Every structure is written in C-alpha cells, then in structure tokens.
C-alpha cells in the first residue's frame, strides 16, 4: 500500500520524548539528538489547530509542511475525564509537544479536512506530476543488485509476474519497513553469515545485527464500564454515518510511575464509548486479536453501559525480538519473534502501569457514574486474587498484543554495532541506505508514525548534502 502503515494506523501524532533522541545520539549517532530532530518534525508538519498555534508551545510547530495535523474538539464528552486525572495527581497538558512531556493531553491526529494524512496522500499526491517521480505499484522488491560491494540497482517482481532490474544513477534507498528491510538485506547477502548460509544465500557481507534488535510496544487492553445508559447505544451508528471523522472521542496520557520523572513509562489511550460499543468488539477481536471468550465477556459487561476502551502501552521495553528468513524465496513471509516480556522487568513494569491506571476508578467522577474495571474472567488467572499485583502480571501476560510499532531491525550505531551509520548508509557496502523505522536504535516513547516521517525528512537532507546539493536550514 502506498504510504505503508500510515494508511491504516490510528493517526495519533506523537513525536516521543526528548530523552529518546538524546539517547540515540549518546549511543554514537551524531546529529540525532532532540534539538536536531525537532527541526525535521517541524519541517514536515502543517499544524492547523488555532489553540496550539496561539499557545505556549507554538514555537515547536510549523504551518507550512506537507503533513496536516489537527485536533478534534471533544471537550464536551472528555472534560470530566481530564478533571478526574487531575484529581488523581496527573498534569493536564494542552499539547504533549512542549517542554513538559508527561501528563494527560488533548491528542493531535494526522488528518485534515476530513482526509487521512497518510504519507502517500500528504507527500506524494502534491508532487505526483514531477517528471523525476515514477512509482511502480503492486511491485515487489526481491533483492538489491551489487557490483562487488557497491549497490547499483534492485531486482523487482512486476504485477504480471515478470522479474526485472531497475538501476540507480547514484544510490539505492530501502524504505521497506522494519519487517521487510532486513529481509531485503538478507536476501541480498547482507546479514548474519550462519543464517544466510543455512538458507543457501551467498554471503556478500557478514552483518550480524541485521534482523536483530526488534522492539515493539506491548499493549494490554483494559475496559472501564461506566454509567448505565442503554439509550446511548444509538451513538454507535455515528461511526457509519461520519466516515470522514474519527469514530470516537479520545483521551491520551503519557504517564511516569515516578511522578518526578521527566519521561513517561506508559501510554494510556482511552476511547470514549456509548453502551454496547462496537469499537470495543472490533478492537478486541480484530485489532488486538484476543480470544472470542474474552471479547464476549467484554461485550456482555458493557451491553447497557457507557465505557472506556483503554490501550495500555509499555513505552520503553527492555525486551527484544528478531526477524529471520524462512527461506530464500522473496515471496515467503519472514519469521517474527516479538520477544515480548523476554526481559522479566517488562512484565513487572506493565503490571505496575495497569495498577497505576486502575486507581482512576476511585476518583469523584468515576465513582459518581459507578465505574469499575471489567473482569474478563481469564481462565489462566483464576488462581490469583483479582486486582493484586500477581493478578495484573497474569492479566498482562494473557492479554498482551502488539500496538503495531515494530522498529530497530536495521539499527544505526557505531562500527561493529550498527547495521547502518548515522547517515543511514549500510555499513560495509557503498551506494545503499535504509530509511524507515528499522533504523531506530531504540523505540520512541509514543506512536512511531511521526518519528518515522521525521527520519525520512532528515534522510532527504543527508542525501542532498552527500551529493553536493544545498539544503534549507
């Protein structure tokens, strides 16, 4: 799909924390600190929200970029929730993209004028008539073509089944994503030598960290049942009537378990739902793919009650997975090892995060509407007392899913560590770069769409500079 996952995501625009990018730089990646990357976040952005543009964080935004970013006004339905979070000791931020990056905030989204701002729509559509732009649709890149160790082109599979070769005048850039970019490198002979050999692929370059360092945001679904109001069920129809807007009001928070901390440990995204929520069923069964018995428990509990569907995300996991080839066939899907909770500290941290969030039901507003966490009666957790730390550990282990934020499998880093260098050039060969979420050495604390777009903006400037073209500063 043109635009990749930006054409199918939930469109939440979050850049991550200052500490994320300063950490990238401290790992040996010069030029990727917060003060540097902020320029590229701003460069791509076309902020539309007047309150932000006239507020104290206006200097962190731009109105001239390609990517439309706006903020729906849901205050009538969400203000009591923000008051409850404030009562519970959390900051309420008008904009998460200011100097303060911990608290509950009014989220911004990548849509504009009722249209999703996928990268295809935002960046490609305005320049589709440029004579130097040509897009091969429904075409699969099979491998990179090398002359010795210089990348000179790409072998592709065309829609009709013909295999063809496309050659580069200057360099080849892989932007196939965290799953497919390492696959392409390995199919081209760049990767862990033993793994390539066992798949009968000639080793062009032994690069042991290709496909390693896979990181993702582990997500656990929580349901808060609230006011009994069966009449509100009719509001479920709004999602079908207003297909050009976001289906539900959303509240978001980046929360530190230590309230003095300047960076968050978990993200809570709350979908504000009427009785008999259809969104809950869709998210449970389709988005996170939980067992039908769990989804049925949720549906029964909220059939006549308003609810909050809460995505609880561990923002900075220590666990890592990897990508491996099944075989040398480019059409074969890779093997994905998520690595969730392979570091036991992550399970502890995720359980603590759920416990921390759950205290919201003790606030004045939540008590007034009779709110309670929905017990989904997990068979695997029946021997634990509901609501204890051990129960929430069991709950997280049995409810965990991906937030679809994989990164890191072609990570940049110093010689001997990074698959690519700080200018995203593949180490050990020439004429080849990678520019997508796979180059992140560590996952950012937040949704990864905006950081990936920032990476592309920065890559464009580095390519220009490396080929003697001046850039705007």
The sign of the CA dihedral 446, 215, 32, 461 is: negative
Residue burial 339-359, b: 16+ Cβ < 10 Å; e: rest: bbbeeeebbebbbbbbbbbbe
Rounded distance between C-alpha atoms, residue 353 and residue 348, angstroms = 9
Query: DSSP secondary structure string, 181-208?
Result: HHHHHHHTTEE-HHHHHHTT---SEE-T
Active-site choice (61, 217, 350, 405) = 405
Helix axis angle, 389-399 relative to 344-358, nearest 10°? 110
Rounded distance between C-alpha atoms, residue 46 and residue 54, angstroms = 14
Contact criterion met (CB below 8 Å) for 294 and 395: no
Q: Which of 216, 143, 211, 215 is nearest to 410 (CA)?
A: 211
List, in order, residues 6 or more apart from 382 with CB less than 8 Å away. Answer: none
Report whether 34 belongs to an annotated binding site.
no
Residue burial 149-184, b: 16+ Cβ < 10 Å; e: rest: eebbbbbbbeeeeeeeeeebeebbbbbbbbbbbbbb
Contact criterion met (CB below 8 Å) for 44 and 290: no
Q: Is 389 helix (H, G, I), strand (E, B) or coil?
A: helix
Report whether 405 belongs to an annotated binding site.
yes
90 is annotated as an active-site residue: no
Contact criterion met (CB below 8 Å) for 409 and 443: no
Known binding-site residue numbers for FAD: 404-405
Known binding-site residue numbers: 404-405
User: Active-site positions?
Assistant: 405
């Amino acid at each position: 799909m043109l635009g990749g996952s930006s054409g199918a995501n939930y469109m939440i625009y979050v850049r991550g924390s200052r500490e994320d990018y300063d950490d990238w730089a401290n790992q040996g990646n010069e030029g990727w600190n917060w003060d540097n990357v902020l320029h590229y976040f701003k460069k791509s952005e076309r902020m539309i929200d007047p309150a932000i543009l006239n507020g104290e964080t206006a200097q962190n935004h731009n109105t001239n970029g390609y990517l439309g970013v706006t903020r729906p006004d849901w205050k009538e339905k969400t203000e009591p929730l923000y008051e409850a979070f404030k009562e519970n000791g959390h900051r309420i931020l008008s904009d998460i993209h200011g100097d303060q990056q911990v608290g509950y905030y009014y989220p911004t989204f990548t849509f504009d004028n009722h249209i999703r701002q996928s990268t295809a729509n935002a960046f490609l559509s305005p320049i589709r008539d440029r004579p130097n732009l040509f897009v091969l649709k429904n075409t699969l890149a099979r491998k990179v073509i090398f002359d010795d160790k210089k990348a000179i082109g790409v072998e592709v599979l065309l829609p009709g089944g013909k295999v063809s070769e496309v050659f580069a005048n200057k360099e080849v850039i892989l932007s196939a994503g965290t799953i497919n970019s390492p696959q392409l490198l390995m199919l081209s002979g760049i990767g862990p030598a033993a793994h390539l050999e066992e798949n009968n692929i000639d080793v062009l370059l032994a690069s042991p960290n290709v496909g390693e360092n896979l990181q993702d945001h582990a997500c656990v679904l929580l349901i808060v049942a609230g006011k009994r109001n069966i009449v509100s069920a009719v509001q479920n129809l709004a999602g079908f009537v207003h297909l050009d807007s976001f289906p539900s009001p959303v509240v978001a928070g980046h929360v530190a378990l230590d309230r003095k901390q300047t960076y968050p440990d978990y993200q809570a995204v709350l979908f504000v739902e009427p009785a008999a929520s259809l969104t809950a069923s869709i998210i449970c069964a389709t988005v996170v793919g939980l067992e039908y018995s769990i989804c049925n428990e949720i549906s029964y509990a909220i059939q006549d009650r308003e609810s909050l569907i809460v995505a609880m995300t561990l923002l900075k996991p220590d666990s890592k997975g990897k990508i491996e080839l099944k075989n040398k066939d480019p059409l074969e899907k890779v093997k994905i090892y998520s690595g969730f909770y392979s570091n036991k500290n992550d399970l502890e941290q995720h359980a603590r995060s759920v416990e921390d969030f759950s205290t919201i039901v003790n606030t004045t507003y939540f008590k007034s509407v009779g709110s309670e966490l929905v017990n989904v009666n997990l068979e695997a957790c029946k021997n634990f007392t509901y609501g204890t730390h051990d129960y929430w550990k069991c709950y997280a282990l049995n409810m965990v899913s991906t937030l679809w934020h994989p990164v890191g499998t072609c990570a940049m880093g110093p010689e001997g560590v990074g698959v690519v260098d700080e200018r995203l050039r593949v180490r050990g060969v020439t004429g080849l770069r990678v520019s997508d979420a796979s180059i992140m050495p560590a996952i950012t604390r937040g949704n990864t769409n905006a950081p990936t777009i920032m990476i592309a903006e920065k890559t464009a400037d580095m390519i220009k500079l490396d080929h003697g073209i001046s850039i705007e500063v």
